[in-house]
Amino acid sequence: MDGIFSLIKSVNEEYIEKNLFYLAKYPLPCRTLNYTIDGHTKCTLYETDDFLENELRRSGYAVEKEIVPVQAFQPDNTVPHGFRRPLPDELWYDALNLYAKKGGKEHPYELIIVLAHKDSQSWLKCAPGAYDNAVGTVAVLELARILANYPARRSIWFLWCNEEHWPWTSEFAAKRMAGSNFKTIAVLNIDGIGGKSADDVKNHLLTNVTRFTTPEGEKLADLLAEVNEKFKIGLIQKKFHAEKPNDDDGSFVKAGIPAAVLNIGSMPYKNPDYHQHSDTPEKVALENVKCATQLMLATMLHLDVHGI
Ligand SMILES: [Zn+2]
């Protein structure tokens, strides 16, 4: 337990802040396959991939890549959410899933996956997507950094996928996992951590909601609540039952891996800047992102030591 406490303390808010601004303001104003900064040769999502790969290499990881063909969503002002799915004859791109993997020493075929979608909204011209989902992208990077030299008992994979292009590249990853020899004991999707209503921001509430659809997911949500108490993380931690699987955790549930949950700052999602150009890094409650990252870390360590 002491080991877990000291690792939790090493979650670094300054790194989170620095990486968040790097990916959602400068030098990268957004993360899509259909937007390239003037004078650059690669699109902003490939530049994001390069950034993540370099950071992971510095921590000692070899980065594995999986190519998935996707399209950009198209703006559509006739629907409330403002976009539509692409048509088959519209432009296709190669998106990448990025993996950093740690092998388990005692139970190598039991797997803990922590993931985030790294792309921003492809139907908006260069929207920063700070809460959605630069925060998750940098949280997973921070987890990988901290666990780089941790001797894992079970296998731990860090995955960065794409969910603001179509199809979601987590579907591809999940189907491959479901057909492998690994037994996935937990999938923690980190998307929009700390994102909450204007009132909750004003009251400085530190929140996290774990959304589940299956009994296995509920068990994980209950574990997150226990871990939050046990390690005095300080979050107002809630669980939320959804009828249907959705988002990147839903890709795993649909593929037959039921222990998959979403972690987010509020559910239903109340961030007023959701899918707007105003979802900027200046507005991100860094302390909330730090606490939620600590909660993910403590939960991963608990699962690594005890299994499910
Ligand atoms: Zn989104």
Q: How far is the CA of 133 from the centre of ligand 1 (A)?
A: 7
Confidence band (pLDDT; 50, 70, 90) for 308? confident
CA of 2 to the centre of ligand 1 (A): 37
Q: How far is the CA of 165 from the centre of ligand 1 (A)?
A: 10
Q: What is the pLDDT of residue 56?
A: 98
Residue 2 confidence (pLDDT) above 90: no
Mean pLDDT of the 98-110 span: 98
Q: Rounded distance, CA 22 to CA 101, Å?
A: 24
Least Cα distance to 265 among 234, 289, 282, 286 occurs for: 289
Instruction: Give distance in angstroms: CA of 132 to centre of ligand 1.
Output: 5
Calculate the alpha carbon distances from 15 to 12, 19, 86, 145 in Å. 5, 6, 36, 10
- Following DSSP, what letter does each residue of the chain receive, concatenated? -HHHHHHHHT--HHHHHHHHHHHHTSS-S---TT---TT-SS-HHHHHHHHHHHHHHHTTPPEEEEEEEEEE-EE-TTSTTSEEPPPTTS--EEEEEEEEEE--SSEEEEEEEEEEE----TTSSS---IIIIIHHHHHHHHHHHHHTT---SEEEEEEEE--SEES-HHHHHHHHHHTSS-EEEEEEEE-STT---HHHHHTT--EEEEEESSHHHHHHHHHHHHHHHHTT---EEEEEE-SS--HHHHHHHHTT---EEEEESSSS---TTTTSTT--GGG--HHHHHHHHHHHHHHHHHHHHH--
Q: What is the pTM of this model?
A: 0.98
- Does 1 score more than 80 pLDDT? no
- Ligand 1 centre to CA of 220 (Å) is 23
* Distance between Cα 291 and ligand 1 center (Å): 22
Vertex 182: Cα angle to 176 and 185 (nearest 5) = 105
Parallel, antiparallel, or unpaired: how do β-strands 83-84 and 74-75 relate? Answer: antiparallel
Structure confidence by residue, pLDDT tens digits, 157-196? 999 999 999 999 999 999 999 999 999 999 999 999 999 9
**What confidence tens digit (pLDDT) does each residue in 39-69 have?**
999 999 999 999 999 999 999 999 999 999 9
Structure tokens given for 162: 């794409």
Superfamily of domain 2-306: Zn peptidases (3.40.630.10)
Phi and psi at residue 198, to the nearest 5°: -60, -35
Question: 164 C-alpha to center of ligand 1: Å?
Answer: 6
> For the chain, what is the mean pLDDT?
97
* Cα dist from 154 to 64, 180, 217, 222, 272, whole Å: 19, 16, 19, 21, 39
Tell me the CA–centroid distance for residue 300 and ligand 1, in Å: 25
How does pLDDT run across 114-125, given as a tens digit for each residue?
999 999 999 999
CA of 180 from ligand 1 middle (Å) equals 29
| CA 120 to ligand 1 centroid distance, Å | 7
| Inter-residue contact 299 to 146 (CB < 8 Å) | no
Q: How many other β-carbons are positioned within 10 Å of the β-carbon of residue 30?
A: 27
What phi and psi, each to the nearest 5 degrees, are found at residue 31? Answer: -145, 75
**Spacing, Cα 60 to ligand 1 middle (Å):** 30
